[in-house]
Amino acid sequence: MRFNAKDLALLAKRPSGCFDKEGKLKICRVVGDEKLIEPRERWCRLKGNLLFLMKNKSSEVSEVVILERCWVVEFRSKTDVSIILKFQSGEPDLYIEAASKPDCEAWAVALGEANSEGLRNKIQQLRRLIMEIKEERASDEARQFLPSSQVDSLGEPQFTSIQRIANEPKLEFSLACKGLVAATRDRKLNTFIQVSVVHPAEHILTRYSSTEIVEGTRDPLFLTGVTFPPEYPIYEETKIKLTVYDVKDKSQDTVRTSVLPDHKEPRADVGRSFLGCATFRVGDLVKSKEQQLTLTLRTSDGGKTVGTIEVNLVKMGEFEDGEMDHITTDAQDQKCALVRECTAPEGLGGKDNLPSLNAVLKNPICKLYRFPTSDNKWMRIREQMAETTLSFHVPKELINLHIKEDMRRNQELKDLGELAPHWDNMRKSVIAHCDQMLSMYQDTLAELGKHTGSSFKSSCSKGEKTLEFIPINLHLQRMHVHSPRLKDALYDVITVGAPAAHFQGFKNGGLRKLLSKFEAERRNTGYQCIYYSPENTAKAKEVLSNINHLQPLISSHADLLLNSASQHSPDSLKNSLKMLSEKTELFVHAFKDQLVRSALLALYTARPGCVLKKPAVPRSSAEESDDLKHQDRPSQIKRQDSIPHHSEYDEEEWDRVWANVGKSLNCVIAMVDRLLEKDNSSKTKEGESDPSAADCKVLHAGGDWYEQLYPLVITLKDCMGEVVTRAKQSMAFVLLQELACGLPQCLMLTLRRDIVFSQALAGLVCGFIIKLHTSLHDQGFLQQLHTVGLLVQYEGLLSTYSEEAGMLEDMAVGISDLQKVMFKVIEAKSEDFLPIITGRREHYVIEVQLPAKMFELLPQEIKEGKLLRMYPVLFNVGINEQQTLAERFGDTTLQENINQENLELLKEYYNLFTEKMPPDCLPHFQEQNDLKGLLENLHQNIQAKRRKNVEIMWLAATICRKLNGVRFTCCKSAKDRTSMSVTLEQCSILRDEHQLHKDFFIRALDCMRSRQTQGALNESDDPETGCLTDNKPTSRHFYPVALLLVSSHLLVVWLILSLALLLAKYQ
């Protein structure tokens, strides 16, 4: 950037009171962990986002630091008085050292809030404070005009609430106009209605929503209704103002209408003109006999009548049974004028209330539509979009698990004992890098803990380092259809930005390419370390996990066995022995692998002064199991040293140590059998003896049981401890090789994979919980869930060109890693229903908590804790102009390979489904032949390799819905392309499944893609307003988007200009 040096110098010399903060600091530049020069004392002055560095208070400015696209790293030590300022541009970090810890913390806060992001946060805080002050003032004014007897009982202004069903919108109504008067006779009106709300306590007009634009008629009937969500503060005393506008230039109006202040009317030159307005009280509509109001539209001065407007109260359980008198349609332009007459509605339609999802979903935004069916009836559609608290909850839980896992790994590396100098230096290097990465995870978790405000990450924040684990724009998009002749239906789609490491960038590709390249490079580093395949390293992590899980369980069951022996309880003794045997057999089986034996030998060779006694003769698993079966007592059971350091190493020693666990267990089993046999025989002989004497013998026998079992149990624990020590060290040595072969790329790839997986997992957990809640009464789905598993289908809309190809590679690996996730449903023990995450990187278990009443609805298998499998599949079709470039001049092999691989996974799930599930588990209209045909059609479309073949998307989505799966739609930021896809899918469902009138398909699509937002979302409330221009749509799905396809002429011009810019850039 270029600045006027004189102006900057003048600004730096202003009086001290003009700066946000100033003082002495020691400053230098840092690259990596090395300081370029020793820190020098500077007088620092902070003004806005400018940091002036001066040699002293009266000298000239020596350097100016612009505090944009940067972040502050604050050290957690109590004695450290330094911070580091990091820049996204890649320039050297700025090391800042203060005189004291309080001064250091004050500078960290000031620098962190100096950029534009900090300014936006301050503005949001001030707006919230203003709203709180307004609410308090309204409450105080209400108290001032009430008698003192009523003030004490007054918690808030007393307004009449609207009766409603729980979790349903407070108020919904539809609108229509008749007899509108145009300025000129020949003009055809293009009208829409703007809805504003006047709260009774504030008397301030607030713009709330708008309808779609109906073209070419003076009697418009609007398909978009008005809905107020459950938490909106609306009462019978609330007034609603309806303003009708005539749009002259539709394209210009859609750009400018949403950015006007609430209290200002648009100018005539923005492309629309004011026709008339009307106002009504909510109580008048709710209490009206026909649940309908007919209002007169008048001009702004109240004199001239320009038509009437009908307001109809809407309830999703009621039908409009009247026929539509006529439908006039201009088939070419899709301009529709529709008039209808409604008779009194019949009885209310029954509707089950869906379980509450308040713990997971928040801030819902609703839209209401009414569309005609092919038989001239009306169906009502409620569209809802909601944020989820899981956007931050799941990543924080996951990072916490990563920290614990990495701390255990670092400790296991330290516990390897003495190593030869080469291996010891390697271990020190690995531990140093791991500690640095661990510190990064801890800092990220601390920053996420400080986050307040929105529960989702907006697209303009995707490049922020502190939020890189958070998914982008994760929302639920729900469509509730209420049609007169079909059963109510819910259609859910989870929308989220493609899981990808945006902060790390895609210069070298994504995970798919990076992992392949890294694995190839690892094979060529054998001279430095021992190469273990990814399968072997995964096996080593699994062995360590089994050790940490099974060892405490075996110890506890052994203690229970001794406790049962001391109490002389035969039944308890049998149960304890059974549990001990099962866990010990699992423990022994975990080490029945050649990897442990070979790793022990490799570890021994890494010790200083090792000597091999004889070459390795690995024994077969059959021989090992034969020893366990035929030897009741161990020949030599004694405590061994960990691994000999300077003596001869017998490679068969591990077999003996490992087999001693099984032999010790056999001894315990044999002793318990003898004790129970003696107890039974003594009971039969002494059945008629004196009862008091029998009691004494029982007590004496109890002591004998404990004394005889105690040494055998101690021997079992000692043998198990020896195996654990050796196995832990050997597997830690394998992990040391994995890390040492690829430092630091290995840890950076692990970080990138964790970031992508965190974003993907948050969406998966959200989708599973929502699907479970909405299908609790569907016994077929619940049976499918625990018998087969859940199909999770991701629809990708990324191109295979430039950075988006790297995003697609990240996304493919992240979604594939979701196969490692298992779900478990448990009964909630408190009011906290958020899911619990356990496990490690190769295997996670998500525990979903349900209230007791909902938990009782589950099948017995799920209630007993059966783990539920996930089957994630990804199908991607690029649809934007960049994909046109990739198809004509680039490469689409990545997309083709991903689609082909996931087609095989989908077929595998379908085959498993048909094998394990009865034929009648699917609804009657979803026959297996239909699914077979869809799968075959999908296969043919993938093989055809046609350009922008969106039929793949439609077929995959249809198969997913028919198999009771969870649907995801993803693009770069879950905005433009995602909204186009979701709205097209919703209208297609209405046409194919709910008989939407064919002449209204395009108009219904336009309604759902309308830019005008619903709900109490003004410009100040939209979390993405700060990074948007007037022409850029918001993160909500209710807006028009840029055309996905351009004409061939425009494409050629665009290509020529792009090539010219590229040549100019690289010359």
- Beta carbons of 967 and 477 less than 8 angstroms apart: no
- Beta carbons of 661 and 720 less than 8 angstroms apart: yes
Distances (CA, A) of 270 to 180, 252, 301, 573, 936: 21, 7, 22, 86, 52
Q: To the nearest 10°, the Cα dihedral for 511, 513, 514, 516?
A: 110
872 φ/ψ angles, rounded to the nearest 5 degrees: -80, 135
DSSP E strand stretches across 469-535: 475-482, 489-497
- Beta carbons of 824 and 845 less than 8 angstroms apart: yes
What does DSSP say about strands 305-313 and 226-228: parallel, antiparallel, or unpaired? Answer: unpaired
- In this structure, what token pair is assigned to residue 111? 């620098």
| Residue 348 DSSP label | P
871 φ/ψ angles, rounded to the nearest 5 degrees: -125, 85
What does DSSP say about strands 489-497 and 966-971: parallel, antiparallel, or unpaired? Answer: parallel
Which entry of 44, 610, 971, 987 is annotated as an active-site residue? 971
Amino acid at 279: T
Q: Please give the full DSSP string across 955-979, using - where no structure is assigned.
A: HHHHHHHHTT-EEEEEESSSSHHHH
How far is the C-alpha of 84 from the C-alpha of 65, rounded, in Å?
13
Q: Please give the full DSSP string across 762-803, using - where no structure is assigned.
A: HHHHHHHHHHHHHTTT-HHHHHHHHHT-EEEEEEE---SSTH
415 φ/ψ angles, rounded to the nearest 5 degrees: -85, 5
Closest CA to 761 of 858, 863, 832, 841: 841
Closest CA to 72 of 83, 81, 64, 82: 83
Closest CA to 381 of 993, 826, 847: 993
Residues β-bridged to residue 338: 327
Closest CA to 792 of 817, 810, 828: 817
List of residues 6+ apart from 612 with CB closer than 8 A: 604, 605, 648, 649, 651
Closest CA to 867 of 912, 822, 817, 829: 822
Residues β-bridged to residue 597: none
Q: To the nearest 10°, the Cα dihedral for 61, 65, 66, 72?
A: -140
Residues β-bridged to residue 228: 171
Q: Is 971 a catalytic residue?
A: yes
How far is the C-alpha of 478 from the C-alpha of 490, rounded, in Å?
7
| Residue 472 DSSP label | B
Q: To the nearest 10°, the Cα dihedral for 346, 350, 355, 361?
A: -30
How far is the C-alpha of 108 from the C-alpha of 42, rounded, in Å?
17
How far is the C-alpha of 484 from the C-alpha of 321, rounded, in Å?
8
Helix (H) or strand (E) holding 889: helix 881-889
Q: Which long-range contacts (CB under 8 A, 24 or more apart) does 144-148 make?
A: none
Q: Please give the full DSSP string across 193-225, using - where no structure is assigned.
A: EEEEEE-TTT--EEEEEE-PPEES-SS-B-SB-
Closest CA to 602 of 723, 732, 719, 412: 732
- In this structure, what token pair is assigned to residue 383? 């569209």
Active site residues: 971
